[in-house]
Amino acid sequence: MKVFGIAGRSGMGKTTLLERLIPALRARGLRVSLIKHSHKDIEVDRPGKDSYRLREAGCQEVLLLGRTRWALMHELRGDTEPDLDYLLSRIQDCDLVLVEGFKGGDFPKLEVWRAAVGKPMLWPEWPGIVAMVGDAPDLADAPPHFSAAELAPLVELVLQEAREVGA
């Protein structure tokens, strides 16, 4: 199992890129999973549903199983957020785990950056940024740059730079 990150500030187009990149990776026969880190509270359950009520009653974990998918919800209840290595250990066997977020993680990442959004680049402060996609930065020492339209070279970059989990 390998890991590769997609990084960028909010509104830069990370999800849009991932929506194009994932099918291209799957077309290569890869089983792809994703870990997304959000700084917001997330809610995957709905008030009134049995699973929600039992989670609210105090369960640490609730696993939902339906005909087409299952989901495991884990309540932190004041505990610290788990690190990426722990979360990667929870992912079922696959070929590639794409990670959105985890800015401090030292694993290879592609930064999505558009000047029009008006926010600074993450590079060079974030570790692991091996390339950028979007607007070309005007910096001589910037990592290699790709246009968002260049899907085939981006797929090759991900396949070449992805790191073995635990390496």
Taking only the tens place, the pLDDT of each residue in 88-144 is 999 999 999 999 988 778 899 999 999 999 999 999 999 999 999 998 777 778 899
Determine the structural domain holding residue 30 and report its residue range. Answer: 2-40+81-164
Residue 92, in any domain of the structure: yes
Residue 128, in any domain of the structure: yes
Counting the structural domains of the chain, the total is 1
**Other Cβ atoms within 10 Å of 83 Cβ, number:** 11
Residue 70, in any domain of the structure: no
Q: DSSP label at 117? A: G
113: which 2 tokens? 């950056």
Residue 105, in any domain of the structure: yes
Residue 53, in any domain of the structure: no
d(CA 55, CA 61) in angstroms, rounded, equals 7
d(CA 47, CA 100) in angstroms, rounded, equals 27
Q: What mean pLDDT comes out for the span 69-80?
A: 90
pLDDT digits (tens, 9 = 90+) for 5-50: 999 999 999 999 999 999 999 999 999 999 998 777 767 788 888 8
Residue 127, in any domain of the structure: yes
Residue 67, in any domain of the structure: no
d(CA 95, CA 32) in angstroms, rounded, equals 6
Q: The CATH number of the domain where 86 resides is what?
A: 3.40.50.300
Residue 60, in any domain of the structure: no
pLDDT band at 52 (very low <50, low <70, confident <90, very high): confident
